[in-house]
A and B are shown apart, each in its own frame.
Chain A
Amino acid sequence: MLLLPITIEALIKIGLLIACLMGGTSYLVLVERWIAAWIQDRRGPCRAGIPLTKIRLWGLGQPIADGVKFIFKEEFTPAHVDKFLYFLAPVIILTAALSVFAVIPFGSVLPFDFAGVYDAVAQWAGAEPLPEYAPQPTRLVAAPGLDVGMIYVFAVGSIAVYGAILGGWSSNNKYSFFGGLRSSAQLISYELPLGLGILGVVLLSGSLRLDVIIGQQAGSGVWNVLLQPLGFLVFFVAAFAESGRLPFDLVEAEQELVAGYHTEYSGMKLMMYLVAEFLHMIAAAFLMVILFFGGWHLWGLTGSGEEVTWLEAILRIVVLLGKIMGVILFFMIARWSWPRFRFDQLMSLAWKVMLPLGLVNVVAVAAWVEYGDRLAGWVGVPETAAMAVCGWILLIACWLVVTVSIPSTYDNRPLRVPATRGGQREGAPTP
């Protein structure tokens, strides 16, 4: 009966994941505030240290103080809200944000079999030994072997939209409502380029499982970002937009919408929203690293096979987390580096730029998978090098086409000139 050890193993992984994600989120908030302070030439949080003492510890106690404050804040429920949906919305968004991590690997494998450990403990406690089984290394995924991994991420990610829409609607407040509408429009629009960006990687590796995708990159030693820079660009912009960070944070644009869909929330419910937003960012960073930056692979350090030593196993986790931290730092610095888009700019970026570029990338990768080896053999260069060269040429070509074809300035103000001469106006911009 292997059901029990498998269940216990899954529960341990889930507990570990949730604990690390929640703790990590609270400290990432601190990091974000530090970076904001650094960019704005301030000191940032540096006072809170060990509680009830005067030891400051560079402000490392700040997340604890924030958490305590959130917990003890009054949970004010406005009288005009739709109570049921108002309570349901933050639950949905946090559940969805956490469930994404079920299929995301947070390392490679550990070189021991959990069932064996369980067996030893059970025999020590006087239970019967397990029947014969083939020992397997412990995979560092909460739900290993789900063959639809990548689509699962999509499915759960699309559930998160409900948290924003319902929160905005049930608050019964114009600002919240606009935030919810903008959120749904933005998330649905950017899901398409996101999918197209992923499709190229999936075509190349031939699987939707994230660990297989990492394994393929580690095996060949060439990360996908080198082969498909265009796909990476599309995925990167779309993931940025999906996680709703500046410059894509129209959903909660403070200057226009107070706080967007969570204007009417306070206390723990607000915290659920904020944590979910951070989790979206972390998930986007995970996906970016796993799909395009080789996951846990680093040349000459981590090895590339399934057989690992303890040192390699730990190095892989460290490398993965280090890469993810790099992406998150980029997210945080980007927040203070670009102004927010206007809504029409956001939509035209999704539909007129990113979607065609994503299609171009998918077609190019499909053509390469079909004819690439013949082309490389004909020219007489290694296949991977040829693909990288083609990928970068494609990126530069697309970049040039986009920059040349998009007008440098345009005007979205409402038309004021009355229609004359049969509906055609003088000097009207072509639609």
Chain B
Amino acid sequence: MSDSQLTFTLATLLGAVGVWLLLPRGTARGWAAGAVLVAIALGLGASRMLRLEDWVADGVFFILAGVTVVAAVATISFRDPVLCAIWFGLSLLGTAGLFLFAGAQFLAVATVVVYAGAILVTFLFVLMLARPKGRATWNRSSWEPVVSAATGIVMVGVLSMTISDVLALRGETGRPIVEAAETAGDRAEGVLADQHVALVGAELFGRNLVAVEVAGTLLLAALVGAAVIVARPRSEAQEPPAAD
């Protein structure tokens, strides 16, 4: 077992236990310990990935990544659903920031418009209409804390380990086989690309035309379905009040 594999295994174990402790299990016991464990796991994972060549650019990346991951953990560990939704929103904003950082401007703003602007607002809307008041433990605890924590964290750990291993592979000349990421200059060029949206549009409506059209038709069908459900005749949808 190599050095990096050992680190990631340790990080995965600690992270799984920490997330399990953080998940709402009907008790708040062990919450602080869970937070500490998750923080240690994150630090371990990051220690294998840190490459502070350009400290401004990498600093921005790690801040964004940290915000995203911490907000994601908070999303599943808070007990108040409204707070969970807020944390989810922060996680989405972090993701959008990462997209923007990688030069995918359109994806970044589209994430914010679609997820943070529409879907999450609908979540909040429903949560507020329902006003979850009950204090019952089965309402406020996660269903399978052990299994879900284990699967989720193991998947994240394996993925990070694989990716960092691949990035560390060296060819015969000593150069990395997979270029880790473009330099800060390339990245700035990607962020400031002049024809970014035009290129995305050409790609979407060129090579992926069929997929776009199929998705659009599917959404239209869903819309018609919703309209059919809502637009029942009035006498059927709304029983008139009893006659006086």
Contact = CB atoms under 8 A, between A and B. Distances in A.
Interface of A: 84-85, 88, 145-148, 151-152, 154-159, 161-162, 165-166, 169, 177, 180-181, 184-185, 188, 191, 206-208, 414-419, 423-425, 428, 431
Contacts of A166: 82, 86, 124
B238 interface: yes
Given A155-B109, A169-B82, A177-B128, A188 B121 contact: yes
Interface string B182-198: 00000000001111111
B233 interface: yes
Chain B interface category by residue count: 35 or more
B235 A423 contact: yes
B3 interface: no
A85 B128 contact: no
Interface in B111-148: 112-113, 116-118, 121-122, 124-125, 128-129
26 contacts: A85-B82, A85-B83, A148-B105, A148-B197, A151-B110, A155-B113, A157-B117, A158-B112, A158-B116, A158-B118, A158-B121, A159-B112, A159-B117, A162-B124, A166-B82, A184-B124, A185-B125, A188-B118, A206-B198, A207-B197, A414-B241, A417-B240, A418-B240, A418-B242, A419-B235, A431-B231
A158 B105 contact: no
Interface of B: 82-83, 86, 89, 96, 105-106, 108-110, 112-113, 116-118, 121-122, 124-125, 128-129, 192-198, 231, 233-236, 238-243
A216 to B, nearest CB: 14
A146 B190 CA distance: 11
Nearest to A430: B234
B67 to A, nearest CB: 15
Given A147-B196, A165-B124, A431-B231, A423 B236 contact: yes
Contacts of A165: 121, 124-125, 128
A154 B113 contact: yes
B121 A145 contact: no
A415 B234 contact: yes
Given A147-B194, A169-B82, A181-B129, 12 more contacts: A85-B86, A146-B105, A146-B192, A147-B196, A151-B197, A152-B109, A155-B117, A159-B112, A181-B125, A191-B117, A191-B118, A425-B240
Contact of A161 (B109, B121, B128): B121
Contacts of B231: 431
A33 to B, nearest CB: 33
A157 B109 CA distance: 11
A177 B82 CA distance: 14
B195 A147 contact: yes
A154 B106 CA distance: 12
B106 A169 contact: no
B109 A154 contact: yes
Contact of B197 (A188, A191, A208, A424): A208
A147 B193 contact: yes
A263 to B, nearest CB: 16
B116 A159 contact: yes
Contacts of A162: 86, 89, 121, 124
